[in-house]
Structure 1
Amino acid sequence: MTGYFTAGIAPLLALATAALAAPLAVHTPAPGSPERTAIVKTLHAGDDSAQSRFTFRAFRVLSAGPGTIAYVRGAGPVGTFQAILKRDGRAGWRKIWGDGDGGSSSCEVGARHYAWALQLLRTYTANPDTIFPGIVARTGELRRMAKARPDVQCVGDLDGGPS
């Protein structure tokens, strides 16, 4: 009986170990899928979505544990934008970070804003660039710019992020 038990459990343990060691998969929800529709609807919150459309350049989603995070970069009627959205468990999507055209914020404020996003993404994946391409380099660049000239305006409209 012991041999049967061990032989039956060994493949299950190997499968469980492989699943834990496997890297988390970033995916792009298909146009019209419920996941993509829910994210786009969240991005449209407060605007006339019948009049405005987005063109996406990046649309990445990562599920890790009980939470899911999304990064989108695109253009809409007001200009280009980037956003991070989050969903905990079965709750709805919430936009928690953004950077868009228009307005200007200082390099110092931008460095804090991007550092916050980078830290958040690191709670989901060891390589934040897999979900938000270029965030590691951009955060470093903004930190250097903030040290050299903290008051220079070098980022657009910021929303969400650090309080």
Structure 2
Amino acid sequence: MANITELIELYLKEILQSSSEGSIEIQRSDLADKFSCVPSQINYVISTRFTLEKGYFVESKRGGGGYIRIQQVNLPSLEAVQRHIQQTVGEQIDQTTAEGLVYQLEEARFITIREAHLLKAAVSRDVLLLKLPLRDEIRAKLLKAMLIALLTK
């Protein structure tokens, strides 16, 4: 059985995919009522599962008529993906950003789930037992090299 966080994430992704505009606006309190949870649980899901690194732009307006707007950022072409990788990775990259990029590429179906798992394992801080900033520099070089190999297949 999926936990509440996963259920909320799946629900939001489902309505986002069915949206003709590629974005949705939701009321935090309405969503909390639907899932019988506190609004902070909704905040947690959105702040951890719908990040820019994972391919989502989130806009939030608090207050009486407040809402949360979630928009999926699409990667339209291989050239755009390669530019995005160069901009995101740069000379160094931390683990969270690297995993977010891998997640985004997997969601856009540029890489498989298996490839995503391999990439995440290879750039993990548990594998790259080096001190910062060297670890982030090595991670960036590894990630770029692996992604170039995968995306030029």
Q: What TM-score do you get using the length of structure 2 for normalisation?
A: 0.31
Larger of the two Rg values belongs to structure: 1
- Structure with the largest fraction of strand: 1
